[in-house]
Structure 1
């Protein structure tokens, strides 16, 4: 997933769209893996059914907070570590998703600035 260097021209729009699709798919894969970790953990440690595990995992991953009470020490520990992981994962996945857009904007601004100087 290479991006053009600041001395290169701005990529064509079709390349930009393809790049957005690739980065979006990668972000979706990270979301899927993160939710899967949560579902399996809440199913195993929290003894929740599959739907409740999915619901709890999604709520924690998006920062909305827990919806079920964890009663065992293992469930509380998993929930705590999953919440810490989710905070970092959410910010990282957001960064991955917006990388091509921000890069293109900054690249266009840099090219315009360079053209004005010459």
Structure 2
């Protein structure tokens, strides 16, 4: 575990942001793929409609196509629940580097104030 007591340089911080963005993109591609494949095979939607439905569910907009089979309805329910967890998780992944840097900055300022003698003026 990295326990250094200094902030990353702006370049290192930018690279950390890019890594988190890259992970978010990979997770999004995976989540959309799961949705598209699920809709395609459970309700025989064509690939474009399957991807469209998965995209709309994943972004929280809601389903577009009506599900006709019981398996498609069950998949749609599970995918909707998964999408809620996905949204919260990816949001955390994207916010983490900024929140971590902010908290570390505040901690370093507090440590600096403790080391510096205070003026009673």
TM-score, normalised via structure 2 length: 0.90
* SS of aligned partner of 1:91: helix
Q: Does 1:41 align with 2:38?
A: yes
Where does residue 79 of structure 1 map in the other structure?
76
Q: CA deviation at 1:97?
A: 1.2
CA shift digits 1:85-109 (9 cap, x unpaired): 1100111011111111111111111
Q: CA deviation at 1:62?
A: 1.1
**Aligned residue pair count:** 115
Candidates 96, 101, 116, aligned match of 1:99? 96
RMSD (CA atoms): 1.2
- Structure 1 stretches of at least 4 aligned residues deviating more than 2 Å after TM superposition: none
Structure number, greater radius of gyration: 2
Higher relative contact order (CA 8 A, sep 6+): 1
**Alignment gaps of 5+ in structure 2:** 116-121
Query: Which structure 2 residues correspond to residues 1-118 of structure 1 after superposition, within 5 A?
Result: 4-5=2-3, 8-118=5-115
Q: CA deviation at 1:117?
A: 1.5
**Alignment gaps of 5+ in structure 1:** none
TM-score, normalised via structure 1 length: 0.92
